[in-house]
Amino acid sequence: MEIILASKSPRRKELLSRIFKNFKIVESAVDEAAITRELQAQNAAVTAYARELAMAKAQAAKNQLDSPADSIIIACDTTVSLDDRILGKPRNLAEARNYLLSLAGREHLVHSVAVVLKGEEESLVDSQTWVRFFQMDEAMAAEIERYVNSPSPYDKAGGYGIQEAGAFLIESIRGDYYTVVGLPLAKLKRCLDELDII
């Protein structure tokens, strides 16, 4: 069986390499904005977003394969929400700054869902972690400005990455670190064990 990672994220690639030595990357073309708009129109719970997006990525990758029955497809999505409002990938510097300023001194939810497709069998790995940013003060304001003026915020939900300089914004977390990075590693490993994939 060939292992497929349906993601172009270098972070997910690095994390999955801790479980598998060899796997193939298939970038799934999914219109995340359209799915998000549809979920918003349905007034879906914020916890539904990561699940629906991960499933869409897995199905899109499956549709690209010649023999999907001979592959294990792993797809993942991560959402960041504050007060039941999804904070996606910021489109520009102003939006990145607004996201991080709104998170200062607050606890927010990071929700990661991994979908594992094994033939017609579907398994979900669902993980949530609470992240608290430092209170706003001069040091925090300077850290936010340094961060938003780097390339880092623009390909990450919520506008920050815990595994890089975004860590300097974070006072504490309640839950799994890897969920915040973007792939709930230990839960995924357990799921793969249960499916006899490893």
Using DSSP, state whether 124 is helix, strand or coil: strand
With 0-12 / 13-18 / 19 or more C-beta atoms within 10 angstroms meaning exposed / middle / buried, residue 31 is exposed
Local confidence band at 191 (pLDDT 50, 70, 90 cut-offs): very high
**How confident is the model at residue 120, as a pLDDT?**
86
**How confident is the model at residue 47, as a pLDDT?**
86
| Of 69, 105, 64, 99, the residue nearest 85 (C-alpha) | 99
- Distance from C-alpha of 145 to C-alpha of 36, rounded to nearest angstrom: 28
Kindly report the backbone phi and psi dihedral angles of residue 196, in degrees, each rounded to the nearest multiple of 5, phi listed first: 60, 35
Instruction: Tell me the pLDDT tens digit for each residue of 107-159.
Output: 999 999 999 999 889 999 999 999 999 999 999 999 999 999 999 999 999 99
Is the CB of residue 185 less than 8 Å from the CB of residue 194? no
**How confident is the model at residue 32, as a pLDDT?**
86
Task: Decide the pairing of beta strands 121-133 and 71-82.
Answer: unpaired
Measure the CA dihedral 5/26/93/151, to 10°. 80
**How confident is the model at residue 137, as a pLDDT?**
98
Which of 31, 66, 77, 126 is an active site residue?
Answer: 77
Cα–chain center distance at 167: 16
Residues 90-108, mean pLDDT to the nearest whole number:
97
Residues 11-40, mean pLDDT to the nearest whole number:
92
Residue 56, H or E segment? helix 46-64
**Does position 198 have pLDDT exceeding 80, yes or no?**
no
Choice among 32-41, 87-96, 151-160 with the minimum mean pLDDT: 32-41
126 labelled catalytic: no
**Does position 81 have pLDDT exceeding 90, yes or no?**
yes
- Distance from C-alpha of 139 to C-alpha of 55, rounded to nearest angstrom: 40
Local confidence band at 67 (pLDDT 50, 70, 90 cut-offs): confident
